[in-house]
Amino acid sequence: MELRVLVAVALAAILITGADGAKKGDDGNYESLFLSPYIKAGQIDLARKLSRVKLFEHYIGAETHSGYITVDQWKKSNLFFLHIRALKNPDAYPLLLWLQGGPGLSSLFGEFLEIGPLGIDGEGRLFKRHSSLQRHVNVVYLDQPVGAGYSFTKGLLGYAKDLNDVSSGVLKFLDQFITMFPEYTNRTFYVGGESYGARFAVGVSHAILVGKEPRVPLRLRGVILGAGFLGRLMNVADSSEFLYEMSLVTKKGRKSLAESFADMRRKVRTLIGKLAALLRLRKTIFTSEKKPTMFQKLTGFNNQASALYSERPLNMVQYEKYVQSDAFKRALHIGHDVEFMKAEGTVSTSLKNDYLTDISHEIEDLLKSYKVLFYTGQMDTLFPSQNLQEYFRSLNWIGAEEFRKAEPKHWKAYPTCRSVSGLVIRVRNMTDVVLLRAGHYTAVDEPDAANKMILNFIEDNAKEWGIPDDAETSGKRGPTKMG
């Protein structure tokens, strides 16, 4: 059971007051820490000193840095990052770049709620996550593209329009990051992302594969794609059958959803119909505080992520409250004038043409060169697992036929687990996992299993995927019947 500790306000204040880097004062004016000037001037030791995060180091005992790296000086585009070194012997372990989705969410979500060593519970208390993959991995949590989370730019020209823009910004970030942390030069490297972040991970990894400039001195070994925005959107997001099977909608509701998705699939065939289809999609399966969507009306749910809960989990609510506090922003060198996720809508709108772009060829290229982990949540109401399984089977790569014929195996994250953690298919360099009892944000719902899954993939230990008993699944995960 994880050790939970109350957030000591007085202690945090002492730690924050002693942190260097951003100008602080009793008037509440504290500034962002921009590291690029120090990096370019060769003042690496000073950059590392100024970027230390004592708040994290106090709770988890690992070296931690944060701040801003400028990726476009003319557009004043700056990416915020949090870098946490592996808890023990960091020089022996690989580097993981973690990208959140949205698009527009902060990767602090991944740190506090999913894979990071410091978590927050439903009462706003910080705790050390003992199952965190950071026992054996160094992680960079990056708010990208520009405008996501605490990252920002000063004009509309600074926002990414497609995956090419996204990957350009990330590569420029990595180029400076490696200069600031030269110990990672030629280190084994992984790129991971969740939801739209999985799409970003594909873009960044493919850019590295084809040698896009600037070339970063990292040895990319694998790509981690969680609950990914990967296949044709109107297919992977069609939840009509899944919601009916979960008894969340009636036959009439299923019919309404199926008809809506059928209409969207017709619309996207024409240039003029694509925007109309995206607008209808927003009104169909997402949620809105102003006007209920079809999903909300049919299910009564105000949270679109999991069949297990109708409202946002309290730890998500507490997370957003905590990371917007003055104390937290001061500790992580975020300026008082930087608003959390202020530009989420602009980020999303700027990428509108990317939503319907097919990236299957890029994924197939990655399957030719690297290890790839696909994982989905059994209870995901946004991108139902069966829809993504069908998409994975459509990919053409050297192990495609073997994958299509493979039977999933039961997997338990730890020998002490009473219940099966997931269903696993491993074919050549591809691993496909369905995490049981997990929704769209798989590691929020099943943190121990999700962290162990990613560690198994990175460490490439076949024994850790062993079947705990002689049971086989009753049948192959067959194709989903589409509306």
Res. 23 pLDDT band, cuts 50 70 90: very low
The CA–CA distances, whole Å, from 30 to 8, 38, 396 equal 21, 19, 52
**SS3 at position 128:** strand
pLDDT of residue 10: 32
Choice between 20 and 298, residue whose per-residue pLDDT is larger: 298
pLDDT of residue 29: 81
Give the pLDDT confidence of 433-447 residue by residue, as tens digits: 999 999 999 999 999
pLDDT of residue 27: 54
Domain ranges of the chain: 1-233+330-483, 234-311
Tokens coding 6: 């109350």
Give the pLDDT confidence of 343-382 residue by residue, as tens digits: 999 999 999 999 999 999 999 999 999 999 999 999 999 9
Tokens coding 353: 């043409």
Q: Residue 222 and residue 423: Cα distance in Å, rounded?
A: 20
Q: Residue 293 and residue 50: Cα distance in Å, rounded?
A: 46
pLDDT of residue 58: 92
Statement: residue 448 has pLDDT above 70: yes
Radius of gyration of the chain (CA): 22
pLDDT of residue 7: 33
Give the pLDDT confidence of 197-256 residue by residue, as tens digits: 999 999 999 999 999 999 999 999 999 999 999 999 999 999 999 999 999 999 999 999
Give the pLDDT confidence of 122-180 residue by residue, as tens digits: 999 999 999 999 999 999 999 999 999 999 999 899 999 999 999 999 999 999 999 99
Would you say domain 1-233+330-483 falls under CATH 3.40.50.1820?
Answer: yes
Statement: residue 17 has pLDDT above 80: no
pLDDT of residue 90: 96
- Cβ neighbours for 266, distance < 8 A, ≥ 6 positions apart: 273
Choice between 56 and 1, residue whose per-residue pLDDT is larger: 56
Please state, as a whole number, how many other Cβ atoms lie within 10 Å of the Cβ of residue 391: 20
Q: Which amino acid is located at 131 in the chain?
A: S
Is the pTM for the entire model greater than 0.75? yes
Choice between 473 and 29, residue whose per-residue pLDDT is larger: 29
